[in-house]
Amino acid sequence: MAEIVRWLMTAPDAPLERVVAAVPVPGPGQALVEVAGCGVCHTDLGFYYEGVRTRAPLPLALGHEVSGFVRAAGAGAEHLIGQAVVVPAVLPCGDCEHCLAGRGTVCARQFMPGNDGHGGFASHLLVPARGLCPVPGCSDADQELGQPGLTLRSLSVLADAASTAYQAVVRASLEPGGAVVVVGAGGVGIYAVQLARHFGARVIALDVDPARREQALALGADKALDAAADRRSLRSEVKAFVAGSRGGVRVFECSGHPGGQELAFELLGPAGVLLVVGFTSTKVSIRLSRLMALDAQAIGNWGCLPEHYPTLLELVRSGAVAVAPLCETFPLDDVQQVLEAVRAHRIHGRPVLIP
Ligand SMILES: [Zn+2]
Ligand SMILES: [Zn+2]
């Protein structure tokens, strides 16, 4: 290997540029990962189309849902050479106040590929070795890993979509027999549905897209409702669903849409917990005092701590959480068309780019 390829964003909405570069040399504690797959996330679209600023200056290769093989490593990380890994979208430093307090996803020295440095819209990328999640027993990117169609390439979506839902579910302290509402059963929400179900909750999914509602039902939701229906009827259907369940309702806002956020807030009940998982820069209008009147809580969730990844990986490999049927693969060289298709809602699965 003498060279690597990156698809660089040079300016918002400007055509991506395919650039051949010298192989980067990992410094101490760094790993050079050969990309097996890189998922395309709503956040990438935010950087590319909506003017959300990346923390590293442009030009930059986007992409933060990466799986691959470690091909070279700096001092202290040599043991990882040859290892198949999932690269967590948020890699905390491990040493600061937040990291030591168990809140590494807000670490100021965190590294997020495709934001703090070049990401996975590339053949290779450099990442901190600390926090990489090994995928044991994987020696080939196309090797099936215990489930039909599940490969290291599709495991790239563990880096963000599935793991963000996992951390949110963990923080929601679900109880078996509890009731869960998932608003937005798309790229992240569909994992919230599956994980909540796995932890013993009863799940109702709300989405505007009938295909997503079907999929949520197929993957464990007890009920699915059209999120575009009138609020009053949605409130009463959800209230009836939640009645008699253990503990307060857990509402996961995964749509990242202003209407979805308002709806999610309205669906909170007594002692309920709202998990804000989706992102929009639009302000919404809510009556904040509902939290007080209901003795409820609202929790934001950014990414997922690296220590959660091995457990999630096991859930996926054992078949408790489906990944492969939710992914659609495309050649990395089609990245431009894929971004446009995602923006135009022409791709329904999670796109995974293959170098
Ligand atoms: Zn993402
Ligand atoms: Zn830190």
Given this model, what pLDDT does residue 281 score?
A: 86
- Nearest one of 170, 121, 119 to 309, comparing CA atoms: 170
Structure token digits, residue 249: 């309702």
> Which residues contact residue 241 at a Cβ distance below 8 angstroms, ignoring those fewer than 6 apart?
179, 181, 202, 204, 222, 223
Calculate how far, in angstroms, residue 116's C-alpha sits from the geometric centre of ligand 2. 14
Pick the CATH number of 3-160+304-354 from 3.40.50.300, 3.90.1150.170, 1.10.150.670, 3.90.180.10: 3.90.180.10
H or E element, residue 337? helix 335-343
b/e map 86-102, b = 16+ CB within 10 Å: bbbbbbbbbebebbeee
Could you give the C-alpha distances from 244 to 41, 129, 176, 249, in angstroms and in order? Answer: 37, 47, 13, 11
Given this model, what pLDDT does residue 242 score?
A: 96
Calculate how far, in angstroms, residue 227's C-alpha sits from the geometric centre of ligand 1. 23
Ion ligand 1 nearby residues (CB, 5 A): 41, 43, 160
pLDDT of the chain, 355 residues: tens digit per residue: 689 999 999 999 999 999 999 999 999 999 999 999 999 998 999 999 998 999 999 999 999 999 999 999 999 999 999 999 999 999 999 999 999 999 999 999 999 999 999 999 999 999 999 999 999 999 999 999 999 999 999 999 999 999 999 999 999 999 889 999 999 999 999 999 999 999 999 999 999 999 999 999 999 999 999 999 999 999 999 999 999 999 999 999 999 999 999 999 999 999 999 999 999 889 999 999 999 999 999 999 999 999 999 999 999 999 999 999 999 999 999 999 999 999 999 998 999 999 9
Calculate how far, in angstroms, residue 136's C-alpha sits from the geometric centre of ligand 1. 24
Rounded Cα distance, 269 and 178, in Å: 13
Calculate how far, in angstroms, residue 112's C-alpha sits from the geometric centre of ligand 2. 12
Structure token digits, residue 230: 């009138």
Rounded Cα distance, 231 and 251, in Å: 15
Question: At residue 265, what are phi and psi to the nearest 5 degrees?
Answer: -65, -40
Calculate how far, in angstroms, residue 114's C-alpha sits from the geometric centre of ligand 1. 10
Nearest-Å Rg of the Cα atoms of the chain is 20
User: In terms of C-beta density within 10 A (0-12 exposed, 13-18 middle, 19 or more buried), how is residue 331 classed?
Assistant: exposed
- Closest-lying ligand to the alpha carbon of 94? 2
Calculate how far, in angstroms, residue 231's C-alpha sits from the geometric centre of ligand 2. 42
Rounded Cα distance, 178 and 186, in Å: 22
Calculate how far, in angstroms, residue 154's C-alpha sits from the geometric centre of ligand 2. 28
Calculate how far, in angstroms, residue 236's C-alpha sits from the geometric centre of ligand 1. 33
- Closest-lying ligand to the alpha carbon of 163? 1
Q: Class assignment of domain 162-300?
A: alpha beta
Calculate how far, in angstroms, residue 323's C-alpha sits from the geometric centre of ligand 2. 30
Rounded Cα distance, 47 and 34, in Å: 23
- Closest-lying ligand to the alpha carbon of 303? 1
Given this model, what pLDDT does residue 1 score?
A: 67
Question: At residue 167, what are phi and psi to the nearest 5 degrees?
Answer: -65, -40
Given this model, what pLDDT does residue 348 score?
A: 84
For the chain, what are the domain ranges?
3-160+304-354, 162-300
Calculate how far, in angstroms, residue 43's C-alpha sits from the geometric centre of ligand 1. 5
User: For the whole model, what pTM was predicted?
Assistant: 0.95
Ion ligand 2 nearby residues (CB, 5 A): 92-93, 96, 99, 107
